[in-house]
Each structure stands twice: as C-alpha cells, then as structure tokens.
Amino acid sequence: MARRVRLVAAVTAGLGMIAGALVVAAPAMSAPSHELVITSTAFSGIDQTPGDGVCLTATGTCTLRAALEESNALKGAPGDVVITVQPGLSGTIRPVMTRSAANWMQTAAVSTWDDGAFYRITAPVTVDLDNRLSIVPTSESVEGAAFEIAGTDVVLKNFTNILSSGTSIVMGEQAKRVSLTGGSTVTRENYFPERFVVYRQGASDISVSDYSLQGFFHESQQTSGLFLFNATTTAPMKNITISRVQVNYTSGGTCNGSDGSGCRTNLTTFSPRDSNVVLDGFSFTDSVVKNLNGATGFKFSNSNTTGVKLSNLTISGNQFLNSTGDGSGDEYAFITLPPGTLSGENRISRNHIVRAASGQSIAIRWDGLTRSGTVPSGLSITDNFIDGYDSSIRLSRSGLTTVSGNTFGTRSGSQGRPATGEETADGGALLVDNGTDSNLTVATWFPTANASVVAAPSSAALVATPRAGFTGGTCLAEVAVQKPVSGQNIPTGPVSLDLYWTADRTAEIYLGRVTGVTAATASVAFSLPVGPQALAGATTPTSAQAVNATTGDVSGFVRVQTHGETTPQLTSSQFSRTVAVAGNCRPTLALEQAAGQNDPTMSRDLRYLLTSSLPLDPATVTPDDLVLNATATADTIDAARINPRVVSVTPVAGKNGLQFEVVARVDDSAAVSAGIVAGRVTSTSGLTNTAAASSVDARITFVNPLQVTASRFTLVTGEKKGKTYAVMLRAGAPVPTSPVTFSSQIDAVGLEYGVQLSTAAPVIAPGGRATESIVVKASAGDVRANTKTTIAATVASGDGNYDGLVVPSVNPFLFSTDPTIDIEKRAFAAVTDSSTPAAIEQTGTPVLTGARLVDGQAVCFVYTVTNRSADDWVTNLHDILVTDSDLRLGTGGLIGSIPQLPIGESKKVAACGTIVSNGTADGWRR
C-alpha cells in the first residue's frame, strides 16, 4: 500500500513576520522532515496509526483529518511537518454536521458560540491547501468551527473558502505564533457562516495577511464579525495583526439558506465589549474595506463608560470606503475607541475613511473619561483622509492627543466660511472637536489676510515643509498668520503650524508645516500642488485642484492648525478660519540686454538677461529654447556665415530660478535679437510660460573686429616686388589673449596664374593688433587685364573673441603689364583748409623741391593719380589704393582709395602731417 509521506533532510531556517507596527514572533522554522500529502476530499477518515509518520486511513487515502491527526501526534519542531495537497486534487469538503468524536476532531466548545470544531491543530505544522481544497457546510443544525488552533507555531497557507456553520478559524487560548496568509473566503452557497476568525483569551502573535473576504451572516452586534475577539477571562490577547486584507461587500444581493452572496457583517467585533477583553497589540494595516453597510468597523466600546481594555493599537494605511456603519452618535463612530485609558503607543494614521451618502455621523471618537488636559494620551491621529462624516474627529477628556496632517473631503461637516466657528466650537459639524479636557482646548493661530502667489519667500517668511508625493509641480504662495490674543487657552512656548488648502470650507490638501514659531505674528510660505490631486471617494476616486494645470489660476482657501510643541505628544488645536488664496502659477518672461552689455560691441559674447515672474526649472531653460534673429549690417562680410547661436544659459546665482544669463555668439557683424516663444520653458510648478518673452531692448549689434589693410589691389604678373596687405583689428577691439592664427586659401584662378603668398598662416600675437605684412606675387605670363582672384582665410584661436570669425577676403586684380598709373606728390605749407585736395591747393603755399621747412611745421601732401594705360592694356582702373612709404601719413601709410579711374583721367587724394627734425619738401624728413 502506498505511503502518504515524504521524508526530507532537515535544514535550519528562520522566518520573521512584520505587520504594521507590531512584530509577530514566528517560529524558527526548519526544512520539513515530514510531508503529509492529502489525497482525498472526504470529510470522514481518521489516521490509522497517529505518530508513525504516515497519513493513512482505513480506505488507503490521506484525508485532511488524518493528516492533522498524524501531525498532532508527531509533535514536530516548527517547520518539521508540512501538509500539502496531492497534485491534481481539488474540490470541496462537506462536513458531517453531527457533533461526535467520529466526525469532529473537537467536540467541546471552542468559543462562546461554536460547540466544537471539524479540525483541530495542537502541534507545530504548516498546512498549505494551495487554494484547491475548500470546506463548505450544507447545514447549520449544529454551530461549529472549521478549525481550532490549540497549539503553537502553526502556518496556514492558501486557504480558500474555509467555511463552517459558525466560525472558520478559532485561535484558541493556546494559539501562539500562528499565521494565515494567502487565499480568499466568500460566502456563496448559504448564510450559515457568521465569523471568519475568532480570537480567544490568551491567544498571541497571530497574523492574517494577504487575504480576501466577503459575506458572513450578521446575526447580531455581539455574535458576528469577520474578526471577533471573544474572551471569558481577562487573560490578554497579544500582538494580533491583520494586514493586506481585502473586504469588498456587494451592493445588494441575497443572504439566506441558499444564497450567501449578499451577506455582510462587522469588520471587527468584541464580545463582550468590556474590560474582560484585554487586547494588547492590535494592528490592522494596509487593507481595503468597501461597502461596510449596516455593520461596524472598529467598535471598541459598549457604552459611554465601558469598553475593551486596549493598548498598542495601530490602524494604518487602510482604505475604508462607502461605509454606513450601524447607528449614529458618539457610540457608533467608524472607529469608537474604548472609554478610559489607552496604554502604550496607539496610532490611527494614513487611512482613507470615507462614508457613503448617509450613515454614521462620526469617523473617529474617543472619550478618555479620566484624562486631564495635560496628561499625554498615548494616541495620535495623523495623516488620515476623512470624508462624508458630520463630525470627523471628536475627542473628550482625552488629555494631550496628537491630531495632525489629517485632510477632509468636501462632504465633511464643518463650519461655513469664513469658518471662525471652527476654531472654538464644541459639538456639531466640525473637522476636529477638542471637547472637555482635550488638548487643553488650545486656541489656534489663524490667517489674517488673503494668501497670494509669490516668486520667492519674503525675507522673514517661514517656509512650510510640504508633504512628499504631490502629483505634478508646485507653486509658491505666502500667507500672514497671527497668534490668538483672546478666547480659549492661548498657546505658550513654541508651536508648529500645519497649513491646509480647501476649495470651500474643509481641508482637502495638506500643505506642510513650520515648526518652532515663537513670535506673535508670522508670514508662512507654502507650496500649492499644481493640477488635480487624487482623493479617495466613496465609490469612485475624486480629486481636488488648488492650481489649474492649464491656466495656472489659483483658487480656494487656506487655513491653519496649531500644535503646541509639548512632549511626548503635541497639543493639537481645532482648525482655524479660512482666507482666500489667489494668483497665477504660469511664469511670464522678460528678455533684455544684460546690464553692462555694450551695444554695439566687438566682444564676442552677447549677453542677455532672462527674468521670470516665477522660479523656472533650470532643466527646461536650455540654449534650444532661445530664438535668435540676426540681420546683416553695413559691416557684415558674409551674411550667409553669420551663424547666430546660443552658447550657454546659466541660472544667476542667488536668484532661485528667477533669472538666467543667456550668452549668444555670431561669426560676423550682425544685429542680434533674442526671444523665447510661448510654452517653451517650465516653472518649478510644472507650468509653461503663457506668452513669448517681452522685451524693451533685446537687440545687440556685433561688429566683426577683423579687417584687412587692402581688400582690393592690382597685381602685375612677374613683378618681383609684389603687393602687400595685413589683417588688423579695428580700433577698440578686445586685445587677444592667445595667438590669432589665420589660414589663407588662394582660389583656382589665382592658382592658375601662380599667385603666391609670403606666408599662408599669418598670426596676430597675444597683445598685438595686426599680422605681419603679407606679400602677394603672381608668376610672369600673359593674363587678361583685370582678372579677379580671391584670397580667402579662416581664423582659429584659443581666445573665444576671435576663434571662428569670418575673415575679410582679399582680391588681387591681375595684369600682364603695369596699367601705368602716374602719381605726382606735391607739398603745401600754411594750409588753412585741409578738407579736400582742392582746398589744400587753393589755401596752401606750394613748397618747392629742396626747400627747407621748420621743425614742427604743418605740411600737407596732394597726390595726383593719372590712368595712363594704353594700347593692349588700356583699361578703366578700379579700387586703386594710394600708399606712402612713410606710415605716419594717412592710416598706416594708406593715403586713400579711388573706386574708379577711367582711361586718361586723374584724381587726387591728400594727407597732412607735421615736420620732424630738419625735413625737406621732397624728403619729408632727413
């Protein structure tokens, strides 16, 4: 006969469970040495020889009962024994509803209502039903539990539809270190089941996690509930945790003997609801409960004077949605804490508690009975979202109870604007109600003027630390607040101020906190989230919007809650009155020449200043966001090579994103305007600029500092002397800090006729103003008169003022023979009008050749240029440059230029100077 057991080598392992604020002790598990495999869905069938390590019934199968009997008899160490389901086996176990030892493993009562249990666990074991075996009764003739846990170190895994005529699982007095994880139980066939888990006095370190529940018949407030705490002695229940549980009751449905789909019962029940139930360490976390109608959530009290003895409570991270509760008034709040003292640390935090359209009137209620106003309560109610209740948080005789960061939906009861009644009222529609001896009924600070959007906090403003996790960006605003001067208990010592936003009169969005406030008045800067902020809804999610994500418009109101910075708990006030908040969170831009920018300029960097009305996200302000418009000027060499570009955008230090320096460059002379179009940059609020940047003067004229001494000249082929030119800087150009190196290129025509340069790489040295003279020659040979050639150049330098600039080109015009230009030079003294050559000749006295002139005497020279070309080379001459070997005359020896000189005609140019050291008329100086 087949043996239903696997022997496995033991290996040491460890398992820890953490749920909410409680750490549930778990056994030090070892790898299993016995694996008992269920092979039958039969309810009947006992193990033939318990303790032999074999699960075997008289019919040769292994039933769930036989496996548990074997496991109980083995009494293995934690993790030694594992019960699993044979691959391929699935189905429903139908209990025999006759209470007898032959049918039930426990025939004695296991709870106040369960007369026994179908299955009993008394030794360490892991039972994994793999969500393939269910237990569903067909009768409620006898009320019994499906399982009684009466041992330690028990792991229940993947339990689906574990139902009975009473309780699914009873955690008995000896149950310790028990976990149930994974699975789903829903009443569908009938309404016989009334409780999912019952905890008895003495049970400890019990966890239920990652489980889904629906249904269960609601017989009465004291006898039914998904999680029911049942004590007949005062032995405490300790460290009970429920986490990641889904409870989703249907709307409607039927609850009778043939259909349990519409059944619903309490989430938790305490029987009795008095000090006989001692619960030390109860954690309900990270779970979702929907449509809890006609049933209670957490009713720890029986009346306004009696209730459970509770300590170390955690209800955190849950969603309680669309609840109506069962009753109204102080004793029927969704969370009704037991009257009297709460021991240890107790917290209700980060929950969404959303009532249905009607139902219970209070979300959280506690009457501490004996607490004085100055005694720390051990209770904190923080960061919850509550909506739909007439009075959300109501305290009485609770001592110092921290109530902070809670937000409230638009359906929450509260005082109408300006809501001054919210500050001091007791009873009625309030967000937070500090009744007698609660938080010293401390008065709250309050806003004194409307809040408005600001670009940056004012110099003395306190800056609220916002809650992390706003969806989208934020927009800064500021509000003036004041300490109360009359009325209720005025806070002394430093206080913390919480700020909230509301569309009307509640507090939908928590904006942040400032701490250590001691002055009588303050200005508080805070961040408003942009765009819809998700809020829980009764049936569908809702949202709140302080800043319109499209228009940037700010709407709504702000209010304050005060906390005296007492230890070990804060002294929390009620909510303050409201004031409006207004403004717009889309940035407006201005783009101008930067201060100190010369215009026109020969410095390469063209500096602009971008100013925003609101801080910009630096990551969105890039060179690509700027638009440059460059137009040619009279000094432009090549409009096609202006090449406008933004080389950098840098936030101005200390301006918090409100100002950016923009640096642009071009490669040739141009008038350069900068701009930014609408929707291009983004503020820290996540909104783009509404319109293009405005400007009064965003145009800067750049003048290319490079020029040549002669851009056009005639060149005779074969002439040994050639012609010269140099590249020089305009007057006032920046002094080069690195060599400015030119690279010259002769065009194809020039190369054809042997045009050569004395150097193809002339240099302006650091601190210099011009290159060395460059000699241009052409090889001897015939060429058509006035043939144009071009010498182009590029420039490179470590000095950014010059690197890559457009370089003026030079055009030699080739002739085979000298086109014959005669130049006659005459000197004139005592000239009274030197404005033109003709004026010099008319007002001056001619100086004969060889005549003596006095040292320091002014003298002018008139150069008469005549075109004497003839025969084959007859030509009209263009762009004649007249130079003198004495560089003090004219501009560096350049006397003047003649654009055109027809054949046989003459034109004159002139230059004036002063005789130095015994000059003669013909020699200028000796």
Structure confidence at residue 15 as a pLDDT band (50, 70, 90): very low
Q: Are residue 490 and residue 457 in the same domain, yes or no?
A: yes
Q: Are residue 549 and residue 599 in the same domain, yes or no?
A: no
Alpha-carbon distance values, 236 to 197, 210, 256, 277, 410 (Å): 17, 25, 36, 7, 41
Quote the CA–CA distance of 308 and 340 in Å, as a whole number.
Answer: 9
Handedness of CA 185, 187, 189, 190 (dihedral sign): positive
pLDDT tens digits for range 591-615: 999 999 999 999 999 999 999 999 9
Q: Give the CATH number for residue 800.
A: 2.60.40.10
> Is 924 domain-assigned?
no
> Is 739 domain-assigned?
yes
pLDDT tens digits for range 516-527: 999 999 999 999
Q: What is the CA radius of gyration of the chain?
A: 48
Quote the CA–CA distance of 37 and 129 in Å, as a whole number.
Answer: 10
> Is 738 domain-assigned?
yes
Q: Give the CATH number for residue 679.
A: 2.60.40.1220
> Is 528 domain-assigned?
yes
Quote the CA–CA distance of 109 and 104 in Å, as a whole number.
Answer: 12
pLDDT score at 880: 85
Alpha carbon of residue 615 to chain centroid: 15
Could you check whether the bond before residue 272 is cis, i.e. omega within 30 degrees of 0? yes
> Is 500 domain-assigned?
yes
Q: Are residue 44 and residue 13 in the same domain, yes or no?
A: yes
> Is 551 domain-assigned?
yes
Q: Give the CATH number for residue 501.
A: 2.60.40
CB distance 724 to 773 below 8 Å = yes
Q: Are residue 227 and residue 84 in the same domain, yes or no?
A: yes
- Given a cut of 80, whether residue 370 has pLDDT beyond it is no
Mean pLDDT over 381-388 rounds to 97
Q: Are residue 136 and residue 26 in the same domain, yes or no?
A: yes
Could you check whether the bond before residue 600 is cis, i.e. omega within 30 degrees of 0? yes
- Given a cut of 70, whether residue 569 has pLDDT beyond it is yes
Alpha-carbon distance values, 243 to 14, 227, 314, 687 (Å): 21, 12, 11, 40
Structure confidence at residue 17 as a pLDDT band (50, 70, 90): very low
DSSP 751: H
Chosen domain end from 702, 734, 759: 702
Q: Are residue 159 and residue 299 in the same domain, yes or no?
A: yes
Alpha-carbon distance values, 758 to 166, 717, 743, 877 (Å): 112, 15, 13, 26
CB distance 609 to 650 below 8 Å = no
Q: Are residue 240 and residue 293 in the same domain, yes or no?
A: yes
Mean pLDDT over 754-762 rounds to 96
Judged by DSSP in three states, 420 sits in helix
> Is 309 domain-assigned?
yes
Question: Residues, the chain, total?
Answer: 926
pLDDT tens digits for range 687-723: 999 899 999 989 999 999 999 999 999 999 999 999 9
pLDDT score at 524: 98
Q: Are residue 722 and residue 773 in the same domain, yes or no?
A: yes
Which residues are within 8 A (CB) of 398 and not within 5 positions of it... i.e. 6 or more apart?
366, 367, 368, 371, 377, 379, 435, 437, 438, 439
662-666, 783-787, 790-794: the lowest-pLDDT one: 783-787
Could you check whether the bond before residue 568 is cis, i.e. omega within 30 degrees of 0? yes
Provide the β-strand partners of residue 311. Answer: 280, 343
pLDDT tens digits for range 216-237: 999 888 899 999 999 999 999 9
In degrees, rounded to 5, the angle at the alpha carbon of residue 794 between the alpha carbons of residues 793 and 799 is 140
Q: Are residue 512 and residue 628 in the same domain, yes or no?
A: no
In total, how many domains does the chain have?
A: 5
Structure confidence at residue 8 as a pLDDT band (50, 70, 90): very low
Q: Are residue 674 and residue 800 in the same domain, yes or no?
A: no
Q: Are residue 493 and residue 360 in the same domain, yes or no?
A: no
**Structural domain boundaries enclosing 756:** 706-815
> Is 184 domain-assigned?
yes
Mean pLDDT over 755-777 rounds to 96
Helix (H) or strand (E) holding 750: helix 748-752
